[in-house]
Structure 1
Amino acid sequence: MKRTGKAMKAARGKRSAQWLSDRTADLGYRVSPTVIAKLDSGHRGSVLSVPELIVLAAALHTSPVNLVYPGPYQGRVEILPGRNAGEFNAAEWFSGVYSYLGRDGVGAPEDPAEQWQANTETLRQWRYLDELFITKEQMDDPKHIAVLDRQIKATCDRLGIKLPPDEVFGRDTIELKTGDDDARQRLAPGEHGKITDTKRGEIFYATTYLRLHSGKLREREASSRKSAEDARRELKRRIKAELETGEPTGVINRSTTLSELFEAWIPAKIAEDQIGERTVTLYRDTWRLHGEQQLGELRIAELSTSRADAHLKALPPSPATYLRIILTGMYGLAVRFDVVKHNIMRETKAAKAERKPARALTAMEFEEVRRAVEMFCTRKGPGPRRGRMLPAFVELLAATGVRPGEVLAIEWPEVDLLADVPTVTVSGTVVDSGRVAGKPLHRQDERKGGAPAHTVTLPPFGVQVLTELYGVTGPAGTVLKNRDGGLVSLSNIRSSLREALAPHEHLRWVTPHSFRRTTGTVVRDGLGVEAAQHQLGHAQLATTEGHYVQRVTAGPDTRAVLEKWASNQS
């Protein structure tokens, strides 16, 4: 037992006894963690039954002989009380190569090849019988089926299996039916054959053949120490659970962990939905921080809806929302691979962030922001001038209504100040360092979500600021540049705006994105909501109304129409 315990521990590596016990349970015969732990420690009272040895070997992807006689094969081992043999010879005896056991151990027969053939003949006949059944299931021609039936009966005779002469046997049923064409009834996917009861020792066994949804035929067995009926109930319960779980059809299966599923889902998401690099980085960061350690080692079938829901509700609203998107996509992939029947994430809910209504700057507040920014940039002090591009950044945000990163990405060839109607075209965005894994600050040559280039007209104050900038940063590259002539970081210029407005408590709510909402609200109030939608470049009008224009909270002047109605005047 000590030798077997060491071999098991080496085969499973750093995995726990509980892990190995779960693997044996997946195979239909659980070996308790206590038994495994005793074998690990070389406990003198350790006992391992033959079924336990077999299922442990299967769980560790090895053969029983490798656990009993793991090598190295230079030494001698005790194979029976008081009988020793070389470990290699002992392994051959255990495997059936030799059947002769001499006084001093294993003795070689006169013809080892002939002895091996004799020892393994029964196994070969059973394998041949199984191959005959598989071949028969693929046949439609009655003549071919009749030939196979004769071969099956002859093989059964050699194995000592008595078959009624008027029945045609298959692997998938015990109660065999015959018709005019002497053909048996084939099990439909999801059906099982007759359950056979046997008793071995003090244990009752229930056995049947199950046809999976994939069409594959598999033998299933359950056991009980109580009664044959209890074994039958357990077998039916296992079959029901297996059919509900589904039959895997690809590289993802019931043993796949959530971390492995995530790594399979990300490439599929990129290929199918064309998500951008920033979104990929966001998903990877969210999973690394909020999913990998907390859920990553669970297998696909081990995460329940209630546990997923509780985990999401324990997170702040923003990461909870993104993690739910990730897990929903992952389990959607698992459904497509037939690993699970339904997406467990559908009924989960993430805590919603408090939604603040869109707020726009009044004309007076905008003027105060301008003055605060100007004071911040012209204030004297040691070191280089702070917020060099901040005034122009604020003016262009208000003049265009485009996103802050898109303002920083505007290039001079996209600016037309000499046209009758001056315009600027936005075709990309600036992405800060770290927003895309492994990439520094850079310009992305497409707008958010891969949207097409967007052209907006420029009001006079926008034309003025660009005219002044042309002599500083033109005529090539981006309109806004840092001291070295490179791109301006959004995080840096956002910090400068926050610092400029810090002394003014009533303006601290203002962020770079506030100007986009302000422009949308001003255009809505002057030209209508559809004009605001076009200015902001939204594909859906609901996006503009729900998130980017300040809600109207006062009704129109309806005094005349209501008075006319109440006075019953036509």
Structure 2
Amino acid sequence: MARLPIPLGNWGVIRTKRMTPRSWRARAYYRDMDGVLRLVEARGSSSAEAQRNIQVKLKERQTPRNGLVSAMDRINKLIDVFLVEMEASDKADRTKDKYSYCVKKYIQPALGSVRISEVTSGVVDHFIRSLVADVGSSTARSCGAVLSWMFKVALRHDAVKINPVVGVSIPKNSTAKPQALNMAQYQDLRNKLIAWEQEPALGRPRTQELHEIADFLVGTGLRPGELLALHWGDLDLESDPPTAFIHATVIRTTSGGVRIQNHPKSRHGIRRVVLPAFLVVALRNRLAHQQVTNSPNLTNLIFPSSTGTICDANNVGKVWRKAANSIGYDWVTFRTLRKSNATAIARAMGAEAAAYQLGHSKIAMTQEHYIEEYKEALDTRSVLDGFGTLPEGAADTPPAPTKAAGSRDNEDE
């Protein structure tokens, strides 16, 4: 039976030999990372000194295989390495913020003191199941994605042999079927929304532009962050057809503030959308109003905050929920308006057009999450009436079908 080779980055037996009365030589074969055995030699005034010298040489030659983390390090150290790599990646800022939050809020408290070698698929599965029970499947899936990335880093540093997250079943989010507003429902909502805005309120006056935001969202299918990042320079109201160029979005930072990210949620979100006629009229009126009132608008945004800065989508969403609950449309969110846009386009132009309008890369995702199922009966009479009509002069009993050449009766089979 052949001897097993020396492992990569290791050496064999060290042998010493007296060369002169005052000189000893130590030799050993070292297997480099390219798999080739090479002879390494060192000398000393004694056998012990020669062995010490060659050991120093061999260790200096040894390629560090464990990198920045090893199997005996704790998850806290792997987290530090992971966060540095994540910040240098091309992930969207919002994704980086979400992953950092998952690490600090959930992963570090639960697994930070566990050694990397101790994390098995069973440990990961228990952690994920606990998250599902405590905070829901959406957060559990995000933490699973972070853990998978972390252990890919550990794999590259030889701290683990396999990724323990692979094979762990992470529950999918239980999403309801898309529900959209039809045009009659939207008009009713809009009228009630304007009435709510004009009602007297204690303290700070209610916003007067919530219905304008709703018009823009239902008319374009934009995400709220994409809308609030739009500048007047992104619109071309004079072209035929008039368009809006979507290339940025508003995000929240880890410090709690907001800023404009210079790209949307994904690269497919960079697109031009055509503006319907009613929206062009509303936008021209809004621009004229801003110019007449000379309201603060430091960066020429279409929908700035009351102080002229970037508007926070979360704050607008809170106001929307309050208004929607008051007017009897508590089930309608900004995403419902986006679904309404997609559903109307899909009915007239197909799911592919709806996917482009929303900035999606996969039509299946648009169909599953944004297009409401068609519940009305299709008028198929012109197609199906022929089954009940016989040509003039035809016999009441239809002729027997002609047997195809080469076919056999069932009895012969």
Deviation track 1:475-509 (CA, whole Å, cap 9, x = no partner) reads 9611112222222221121111111111344x211
> What's the offset of the Cα at 1:553?
4.5
* AA of the residue aligned to 2:239: A
**Cα separation, 1, equivalents of 2:127 and 2:250:** 34
Q: 1:269 to 1:411 in 2, by over 3 A?
A: same
Q: How does 1:418-429 map to 2 (within 5 A)?
A: 418-429=238-249
Q: Which residue of 2 aligns with 1:298?
A: 114
Distance 1:136 1:550, change over 3 A: closer
Equivalent residues of 2:180, 2:340 under 8 A apart:
yes
1:294 deviates by: 0.9
Tell me the secondary structure at the aligned position of residue 306 of structure 1.
helix
Which of 1 and 2 has greater Rg?
A: 1
Q: Does 1:508 align with 2:330?
A: yes
**Could you list the runs of 5+ residues in structure 2 that have no partner in the other structure?**
1-22, 56-60, 292-296, 391-397, 402-413
- Pairing 1:266-415 to 2, within 5 Å after superposition: 266-272=83-89, 274-315=90-131, 316-415=136-235
Alignment-derived partner of residue 277 in structure 2: 460
**Distance across 2 between alignment mates of 1:384 and 1:468:** 25
Q: Which amino acid aligns with 1:529?
A: A
| Deviation sequence 1:444-465 (CA, Å, 0-9, x none) | 2211135563211111111121
Over 3 Å counting, the alpha-carbon distance change for 1:135 and 1:367 in structure 2 is: same
What amino acid is aligned across from residue 253 of structure 1 in structure 2?
S
Once residues 241 and 173 of structure 2 are traced to their aligned partners in structure 1, the CA distance between those partners, rounded to angstroms, is 42
Measured against aligned partners, the alpha-carbon deviations of 1:29-82 in whole angstroms (never above 9, x if no partner) come to xxxxxxxxxxxxxxxxxxxxxxxxxxxxxxxxxxxxxxxxxxxxxxxxxxxxxx
Correspondence list, 1:144-543, <5 A: 155=47, 248-272=65-89, 274-315=90-131, 316-431=136-251, 435-438=252-255, 440-451=257-268, 453-473=270-290, 477-505=300-328, 507-543=329-365
* Cα separation, partners in 2 of 1:280 and 1:461, compared to 1, 3 Å: same
Q: Distance in 2 between matches of 1:155 and 1:386?
A: 90
Q: Can you list the C-alpha shifts for 1:276-318, whole angstroms capped at 9, x where unaligned? A: 2221111111111111111101111111211210111111212
- What's the counterpart of residue 28 of structure 2? 134
Whole-Å Cα distance in 2 between the matches of residues 557 and 318 of structure 1?
A: 41
Residues 116-143 of structure 1 deviation map (CA, whole Å, 9 limit, x = unaligned): xxxxxxxxxxxx98x72336879989xx
Q: 1:488, 1:140 → 2: CA distance?
A: 65
Which amino acid in the other structure matches residue 337 of structure 1?
H
Match of 1:549 in 2: 371
Partner amino acid for 1:257?
R
The one-letter code matched in structure 1 to 2:69 is I
Q: How many residues align?
A: 348
8 Å CA contact 2:193, 2:327 repeated in 1: no
Contact 2:270–2:359 under 8 Å retained in 1: no
Aligned-residue CA RMSD in angstroms? 3.5
- Hey, what's the Cα distance between the residues in 2 that align with 1:553 and 1:249? 59
Find the aligned partners of 1:492 and 1:543 in 2 and give their Cα distance.
Answer: 28
Assess, with a 3 A threshold, how the Cα gap between structure 1 residues 308 and 416 changes in structure 2: closer, same or farther.
same
Alpha-carbon separation, structure 1, partners of 2:84 and 2:145: 15
Note the C-alpha offset of 1:557: 4.6
Distance 1:486 1:558, change over 3 A: same
The alpha-carbon deviation at position 249 of structure 1 amounts to 3.1
Q: Is the 8 A contact 2:197 2:207 kept in 1?
A: yes
The TM-score, its normalising length taken from structure 1, stands at 0.55
In the alignment, residue 264 of structure 1 is paired with which amino acid?
V
Cα 1:559–1:293 change in 2 (3 A) is same
The C-alpha deviation readout for 1:250-269, integer Å capped at 9, x for no partner, is: 11111221121122123323
In the TM superposition, residue 271 of structure 1 has moved relative to its aligned partner by 3.4
- CA displacement 1:314-334 (0-9 Å, x = unmatched): 112121111100111111111
Secondary structure, counterpart of 2:320 in structure 1: helix
Query: How far apart in 2 are the matches of 1:443 and 1:349?
Result: 36
CA distance in 1, matches of 2:30, 2:124: 47
Amino acid at match of 1:391: H
| 8 Å CA contact retained: 1:473, 1:481 | no
Sequence identity, in percent? 24
Choose between structure 1 and 2 for higher RCO, CA contacts under 8 A separated by at least 6 residues. Answer: 2
Residue of structure 2 equivalent to 1:179: none
Amino acid at match of 1:513: R
8 Å contact 1:360–1:518 — kept in the other structure? yes
CA positional deviation for 1:353: 2.6
Aligned counterparts of 1:496 and 1:472: Cα–Cα separation in 2: 22
Asked if the contact 2:103–2:143 (Cα under 8 Å) also holds between the matched residues in 1, the reply is yes
Could you tell me how far 1:372 is from its partner in structure 2?
2.3
Taking structure 1 as reference, are residues 397 and 329 closer, same or farther at Cα in structure 2, changes over 3 Å only?
same
- Secondary structure of the 1:442 match is strand
Partner of 1:109: none
- Name the SS for the 2:195 alignment partner: helix
Distance, in Å, in 1 between the alignment partners of 2:384 and 2:65 is 68
Partner letter of residue 502 of structure 1? N
Q: Is the 8 A contact 1:313 1:349 kept in 2?
A: no
| Matched-pair contact (CA < 8 Å) for 1:387–1:493 | no
2: CA distance, partners of 1:396 / 1:311: 42
Secondary structure of residue in 1 paired with 2:26: helix
Task: For structure 1, list consecutive stretches of 5 or more residues without a partner in the other structure.
Answer: 1-127, 160-170, 172-214, 218-246
2:195 counterpart letter in structure 1: M
